[in-house]
Amino acid sequence: MRYLIDTCVFLWVVEDSPRLSKTLRTVLQNPDHEIYLSAVSIWEITLKHQLGKLPLSRPVQEFVAHFRQVHGIASLPLSEEEVFQLGRLPMLHRDPFDRLLVGQAIAQGLVIITPDQDIHRYPVRVLWT
């Protein structure tokens, strides 16, 4: 299976947060699964860090690269086709980062791992347990 993790999920993986269930941890640690972090999430992390809303232990680029490597998470760039998906989506969610993640998941055939209930309303596969 191929999964796209929401920004908050990446941060919870880094923190080893109890918000991640045993089931999700098993999915994320399964070497047969491909786990992706979108460039959209990196943009969101960068923006929140610059605004002082997200303190990090090191510069953003180092932080993301280090923890992606530690946890075996691949990078997912943003393509034009994925952006064009936005025009095909109903306005069920106001967050542009989350809407772009939905567009990527649809275009790439990925399952999104997210607790965001608004994302569940889109025609995309979502995992949260």
What SS3 class is residue 36?
Answer: strand
Q: Where are the beta strands (DSSP E) in 6-125?
A: 34-38, 74-76, 111-113
| Mean of the per-residue pLDDT values of the chain | 95
**What would you report as the CA-atom Rg of the chain, rounded to the nearest whole angstrom?**
14
Instruction: State residue 94's pLDDT score.
Output: 82
Task: Give the pLDDT confidence score for residue 90 in this predicted structure.
Answer: 84
Of residues 76, 77, 94, 88, the one with CA closest to residue 123 = 88
Question: pLDDT (tens digit, 9 = 90+) per residue, 45-100?
Answer: 999 999 999 999 999 999 999 999 999 999 999 999 899 888 888 888 888 899 99
pTM: 0.94
The confidence score (pLDDT) of residue 100 equals 95
Tokens of 29: 């640690």
Domains of the chain (ranges plus CATH)? Answer: 2-127 (3.40.50.1010)
Q: Out of 78-87, 96-105, 113-122, pick the least confident.
A: 78-87
What the block records as the tokens of 96 is 């542009």
> How close are the terminal C-alpha atoms of the chain, in Å?
16
